[in-house]
Amino acid sequence: MTPALTELRDCYLRAQLAGDRREAVRLLLEDGLGAGVGIDDLQVHVIRAAQNEIGRLWQLNRVSIAQEHMATAISHLSLAALFERATPKAPLGKSVLLACVEGELHELPARLVADALELEGFDVRYLGANVPTANLVTAVREEQPDLIGLSVTMSFNLPALRSAVAGVREVCDRPVFIGGHATRWSPSLAGELGVTQAGDSASELVATARRLVGVEP
């Protein structure tokens, strides 16, 4: 990450902790986009990086749950502001259904994935946080998407991920990819479940999704 992006992330983080929504968005739009920084870099190296630091501070008891929720709400607002100003690529004719598994309340990582793939030209169905497995399976059966993405952040939700993958497999044979911090803590999980691990960066994620649905770069 460049020094300029590091500085922008630090300023954005301070705005989050101060609860200054307008300043956070201004930083992204004026100091970020206005200076020629790409949307994918702002999503990954500013918003996601700042959120990771918020999570670290929470684990150290240096920020409260209320502060963490406030910071996350600011990041959702910031992502929406970037999304509105982005120009999507031509439609690929491929659909993807994304969801956080049952019990998983941390939806920002999945939101980042949804935005990145939609801007790449995928037709995205984003179901959000804490999707009950039965409802997820129903949505997959009815939609029959070309690709399914499942997100899990907390390790105690891994059993729900296993149930979700098993349920999806019963109604759809399309490829599945998984992501989120909990999946990175279990590097053998993707192979065990017969799914694909999403990339860490936006470019890796997009490349993985395109490969899984058979679309050339």
Domain ranges of the chain: 3-85, 95-212
Q: Stretch 33-43: mean pLDDT, rounded? A: 93
pLDDT digits (tens, 9 = 90+) for 111-148: 999 999 999 999 999 999 999 999 999 999 999 999 99
Looking at CATH, the fold of the domain delimited by 95-212 is given as Rossmann fold (3.40.50)
pLDDT digits (tens, 9 = 90+) for 61-73: 999 999 999 999 9
Same fold for the pair 3-85 and 95-212: no
pLDDT at site 103: 97
Q: What is this structure's pTM?
A: 0.90
* CATH code of the domain made up of 3-85: 1.10.1240.10
Strand order in the sheet with 147-151: 123-126, 95-100, 147-151, 176-179, 196-197
pLDDT tens by residue, 153-204: 999 999 999 999 999 999 999 999 999 889 888 889 999 999 999 877 777 8
